[in-house]
Amino acid sequence: MYDKIPYKIYLEENEIPSAWYNLRADMPVKPAPLLDPATGKPLTFEQMQPIFCDELIRQELDNDTPYIDIPGEVQDFYKMYRPSPLTHAVFLEKALDTPAHIFYKFEGNNTSGSHKLNSAIAQAYYAKKQGLKGVTTETGAGQWGTALSMSCSFMGLDCKVFMVKVSYEQKPFRREVMRTYGASITPSPSETTEVGRRILAEHPGTTGSLGCAISEAVETAVGTEGYRYVLGSVLNQVLLHQSIIGMEAKTACEKYDIHPDIIIGCAGGGSNLGGLISPFMGEKLRGEADYEIIAVEPASCPSFTRGKFAYDFCDTGKVTPLAKMYTLGCDFIPSANHAGGLRFHGMSPVLSQLYHDGYMKAVAVEQTGVFEAAELFARTEGILPAPESSHAIRGAIDEALKCKETGEEKTIILGLTGTGYFDLAAYAQFNDRTMSDYIPTDEELEKGFAGLPKV
Ligand SMILES: *Cc1c(COP(=O)(O)O)cnc(C)c1O
């Protein structure tokens, strides 16, 4: 069916979109607003101002404007690593002996190694334009912190990163990349914030969590003059910036007459998946086309498939606004053997609403199966995928194997969000056969749900 198209589709530089697409404009039911935990009322622009940059708040609140221009400086930066290729995974197809056609949109071709740079540069740009001195953030595995460090150094902003302590210790190389780009890195929980000191007092010896690092970054931004907090996923604005992935993919599909039936992405906070599906989902919502859209998440952190659709904090320290999302409860922490990333307890409110309204599906997969998929992908397509991305690969392989049974010639697009060079400890566990799977029990999940705020 696709014999005549190139293995790797590269768009021209002038085909990089000049506007982001705001999927919310086409949603029949809009995502629920962020709430002030103190009053239970929607947060106003003014209330968000101490935390976020002004222009980013406008984007966060804008449910109506379908296209938002990408500033010229951000477009210029995108040219360093975009357009990203859409590759026809012919070698993987052959290994699977499937009639399905598999394409992947590869976002790992930059130093941060992931799609996160697409939003980091936009956020750094708006902070700089507002005249701020710097930004604070958290990072878990380190991709977001790296992307933000690169963006801040390009824009001439200071960057303070709270890095989950276990990653800080286990991923010293990631830390050095960030420092090379001029960021300062603090292991979290730390003694530098009130919430960090509280968490350390309550849980001495804790190795930290993303939720705790978020609390520290927010506190530092609010308490430091000329600083704001930025977040690499979950928020509406981040999905907006990530729409560039889907728009490029759609342009490539139109140019080469590719008709996807299924679009698959991994889901941590939902930003890459939200970005990849944006223009396709827009068509679906407007009734112009239909696609099967599948989120793949870890069985050990199953926000979509086993979470509750409820208002919850985005962090463990409960300092952030409340977001309505599929959540396992902000106190949920994946089991200690979990190595595959995607460990956030919640999910993007945009994707949560779409999932709730039946526009997309979700599946949960176990990590040994994820690494088997990663290994097959590395051996056939040559790219060493990030564990996060490998969830999408697992999902795509499972769909392709279903096609093998039914003989259907479906076209699948998957989001290959990044590379796995800093995740080799997890690969080592897989190669040594010491990696195990863990699925939380209902009782364990109930503990997380019990802590949900009453709104
Ligand atoms: C952060 C990250 C993810 C998950 O985040 P989303 O917001 O769900 O996209 C997936 N893949 C890679 C490589 C990442 O760095």
Q: What is the pLDDT along the chain (455 residues), one digit of tens a residue?
A: 899 999 999 999 999 999 999 999 999 999 999 999 999 999 999 999 999 999 999 999 999 999 999 999 999 999 999 999 999 999 999 999 999 999 999 999 999 999 999 999 999 999 999 999 999 999 988 999 999 999 999 999 999 999 999 889 988 899 999 999 999 999 999 999 999 999 999 999 888 888 889 999 999 999 999 999 999 999 999 999 999 999 999 999 999 999 999 999 999 999 999 999 999 999 999 999 999 999 999 999 999 999 999 999 998 888 889 999 999 999 898 888 888 889 889 999 999 999 999 999 999 999 999 999 999 999 999 999 999 999 999 999 999 999 999 999 999 999 999 999 999 999 999 999 999 999 999 999 999 999 999 88
Overall residue count recorded for the chain in this entry: 455
| Two tokens, residue 259 | 């008709």
Ligand 1 pocket check for 316: Cβ under 6 Å: no
Give the contacts of 312 (CB within 8 A, at least 6 positions apart). Answer: 322, 323, 325, 327, 329, 330, 345, 346, 452, 453
CA 124 to ligand 1 centroid distance, Å: 19
Give the contacts of 51 (CB within 8 A, at least 6 positions apart). Answer: 218, 221, 222, 228, 229
Ligand 1 pocket check for 151: Cβ under 6 Å: no
| Two tokens, residue 104 | 């992947």
Spatial distance between the Cα atoms of 75 and 71, rounded to a whole number of angstroms:
6
- The single-letter code of the amino acid at 121 is I
Q: Which atom of ligand 1 is nearest to the CA of 114?
A: 13
Cβ atoms within 10 Å, residue 309: 17
CA 406 to ligand 1 centroid distance, Å: 32
Question: What share of residues in the chain are helix, strand, coil (percent, to 5)?
Answer: 45, 15, 40
Global confidence as pTM: 0.97
Residue 370 falls inside a structural domain: yes
Spatial distance between the Cα atoms of 89 and 380, rounded to a whole number of angstroms:
8
CA 146 to ligand 1 centroid distance, Å: 13
Residue 434 falls inside a structural domain: yes
Residue 304 falls inside a structural domain: yes
Ligand 1 pocket check for 272: Cβ under 6 Å: yes
Domains: count for the chain: 1
Residue 383 falls inside a structural domain: yes
Ligand 1 pocket check for 220: Cβ under 6 Å: no
Residue 162 falls inside a structural domain: no
Report the interhelical angle of 271-285 vs 236-256 (nearest 10°): 60
Domain that holds residue 86: 8-15+77-113+242-450
Spatial distance between the Cα atoms of 301 and 366, rounded to a whole number of angstroms:
10
| Two tokens, residue 214 | 């978020």
Residue 420 falls inside a structural domain: yes
Residue 372 falls inside a structural domain: yes
Which CATH number characterizes residue 313's domain?
A: 3.40.50.1100
Residue 173 falls inside a structural domain: no
Ligand 1 pocket check for 348: Cβ under 6 Å: no
Kindly report the CA angle at 362 between 361 and 363, in degrees rounded to 5?
A: 135
